[in-house]
Amino acid sequence: MACLSPSQLQKFQQDGFLVLEGFLSAEECVAMQQRIGEIVAEMDVPLHCRTEFSTQEEEQLRAQGS
């Protein structure tokens, strides 16, 4: 198993995330996205537990009422 280099570890500690180019192939990303979509579609979440998040200011104001 590969470990992070000191510079990668420092970057993670500085930014709180780390981009690992080439960690997954394009095909693996597509397969993962499809599986995530399947999992979400199969979820049975009660209405009172559902939340909607938006980064659009107008949508936020409409949802929050102010």
What is the per-residue pLDDT across 11-55, written as a single tens digit (0 to 9) for each? 999 999 999 999 999 999 999 999 999 999 999 988 888 777 666
Where b means 16+ CB within 10 Å and e means fewer, 15-27 reads eeeeeeeeeeeee
Q: What's the pLDDT score for residue 58?
A: 75
Residue 20 Cα distances to 3, 26, 28, 48, angstroms: 12, 13, 14, 37
Query: Is the per-residue pLDDT at 65 higher than 70?
Result: no
Q: What's the pLDDT score for residue 2?
A: 67
pTM of the model: 0.53
Q: What's the pLDDT score for residue 1?
A: 45
